[in-house]
Amino acid sequence: MIEGILIGLNTALSLKNILMVIMGCFFGTIIGMLPGLGPMTAIALMIPITYGFDPATGLILMAGVYYGAVFGGSTSSILINAPGIPGTVATSFDGYPMAQQGKAGKALAIAAYSSFAGGTIAAIFLLFAAPSLSKISLSFRSPDYFALMILGLTAVAAFSSKGQFLKAMMMSVLGLMLACIGQDTLSDIPRFTFNNMNLSDGISFVLVVMATFAMSEALMIILRGTDPSSAAKAISLKELGSIKLDKEETKKTLKTIPRSSVIGFIVGVLPGAGSTIASFLAYGMERSFVNKEEKEKFGKGSVHGLAAPETANNAACSGSFVPLLTLGIPGSGTTAVMLGALLGFGIQPGPRLYMTNPEIFWSVIMSMYIGMVILLILNLPLIPYIARILAVPRTFLIPMILFFSVTGIYLMSFNTFDIFLMIGIAVVATGLRLYKFPMPPLILAFVLGGLMEENLRRSLLISDGSFNFLWDRPLTAIILVFTILIFSWQSYLSLRSKQSSK
């Protein structure tokens, strides 16, 4: 492990990679501050740029964007009560009241320190958990992987879209359907191409991500007539006050951090759960840990209430890298985007990643620490200035997002068909989002489609066409039982709520 850490440090501490982390954190913070534009949009816009670098640098840049976006989301939650991403909604419960009491600087500092501590503790967990889990997952066979992917898709559909389980499952199937377009990987037989040569290589992953997130988000903003940059304008005008914490506040923050880190990391590792559930769970649990007097302060500017979700959401971000790096299966929409980008580099994440590409595996883990430090020392004091940069009018912001999306995809293929396909997918995605059809399950399914078919192919060929492979191995059976439990529970919840509404 020491050797791995040194390899990671060597790669992550190169001038180019440090610059990438700084750039990623900075860019992520900017995008994260804009309500509605979360880490997925930020990473999607970055993908075409990352293809110009080596895989380690590309992934480091994306990881920086991820943390930056989460931190940016917290900033708008605290200062103007407008969470940039769902994972920072719980932050606004106590962060915003603190800002209203004239302690905006302190609230931001608590958020930054908690994020830093949560991310760092979780990165230490990741340091130990990832290699151990990689070793275990070497014993995984095709049926286990297939079952794991079904579990991942079901869990993401269940947890990422509250009350929209069936819609999310439909989106998962749509993602898998899109992934099947193009030549079959084994036989080269064209599928669903309708004799169009442009479709024979399939649909590019970057195209789907850009269309469903960056472009459709821009269209949604126009459709609803909202102005995301108004949030930035409000932030840039805000008086922050002191960012120094007193002894009492430091003590309270230090008490909260360890327990919320553990919760955040565990929830982050679970497929589909992610930072939103982690932050709410940590907030709720913290409330039950503190004494009665502190409990009363929750929702009115409690230090515990602010530190808990902030620690947990960053710990969950690090935790979500565990299934990605060890099993090659992303646990969330954001890590699905990263998996897609890795596959684009020709790298297959999974148990062998830390043997075949140790520099990628360890440098990503090491860059997490560096990212946290940068967020703490660079972004915190610069928040009002970053917000000022961001306060560009909507009339310029939206065309720029569209420009980077369209140009990004054009520069990758130099094929105008991709531009038209992207516009088509973005228009459909905008319509679906209007009726609350969630997009993260679609992306996850699209990324996993090829791998899922490959593992099903191997499993069915080994078992000679019989579906016995689903329960032949205890591990496969256990994973499937979890899937069935999640599916049944979600179906029961939908049925119950539908009956009660009758």
Interaction site with another protein (CB under 8 A): 52, 163, 166-167, 169-170, 173-174, 176-177, 180, 184, 186-187, 189, 191-192, 219, 222-225, 393-396, 398-399, 402-403, 406-407, 410-411, 414, 416, 419-420, 423, 427, 430-432, 434-437, 452-453, 456-457, 460-461, 463-465, 494-495, 497-499, 501-502
Provide the minimum distance between the beta carbon of 46 and another protein in the complex, in angstroms, as a whole number: 14
| Closer residue to another protein, CB minimum distance, 382 or 462 | 462
Identify the CA nearest to 126 among candidates 365, 334, 364, 317.
Answer: 365
| Closer residue to another protein, CB minimum distance, 1 or 434 | 434
Q: Which two tokens stand for residue 464?
A: 């000679």
Contacts of 283 (CB under 8 A, 6+ apart): 90, 93, 305, 308, 309, 312
Provide the minimum distance between the beta carbon of 363 and another protein in the complex, in angstroms, as a whole number: 22
Contacts of 454 (CB under 8 A, 6+ apart): 142, 185
| 93, 86 Cβ separation under 8 angstroms | no
What is the DSSP track for 437-499?
--SHHHHHHHHHHHHHHHHHHHHHHHTTT-TTHHHHSHHHHHHHHHHHHHHHHHHHHHHHHHH
| Closer residue to another protein, CB minimum distance, 177 or 382 | 177
| Closer residue to another protein, CB minimum distance, 352 or 394 | 394
End-to-end CA distance of the chain: 58
How many angstroms separate the Cα of 450 from the Cα of each of 116, 193, 300, 324?
A: 36, 16, 49, 16
Provide the minimum distance between the beta carbon of 143 and another protein in the complex, in angstroms, as a whole number: 13
Provide the minimum distance between the beta carbon of 339 and another protein in the complex, in angstroms, as a whole number: 19
Provide the minimum distance between the beta carbon of 294 and another protein in the complex, in angstroms, as a whole number: 36
For residues 307 and 245, give the distance between their C-alpha atoms in angstroms, rounded to a whole number.
13
| Closer residue to another protein, CB minimum distance, 389 or 411 | 411
Provide the minimum distance between the beta carbon of 409 and another protein in the complex, in angstroms, as a whole number: 10
Evaluate the CA torsion angle 462, 468, 474, 476 in order and state its sign.
positive
Contacts of 472 (CB under 8 A, 6+ apart): 143, 463
Alpha helices in 332-439 (DSSP H): 333-344, 353-356, 358-374, 380-390, 394-413, 416-434
Provide the minimum distance between the beta carbon of 364 and another protein in the complex, in angstroms, as a whole number: 23
| Closer residue to another protein, CB minimum distance, 218 or 240 | 218
For residues 491 and 266, give the distance between their C-alpha atoms in angstroms, rounded to a whole number.
25
On the CB side of 16, CA atoms within 13 Å amount to 12
| Closer residue to another protein, CB minimum distance, 52 or 474 | 52
| Closer residue to another protein, CB minimum distance, 223 or 484 | 223
Provide the minimum distance between the beta carbon of 64 and another protein in the complex, in angstroms, as a whole number: 19
Helices (H) and strands (E) in the chain, counts: 25, 2
């029961």: which residue's tokens?
492
Q: Cα–chain-centroid distance for residue 431? A: 23
| Closer residue to another protein, CB minimum distance, 382 or 456 | 456
Provide the minimum distance between the beta carbon of 166 and another protein in the complex, in angstroms, as a whole number: 5
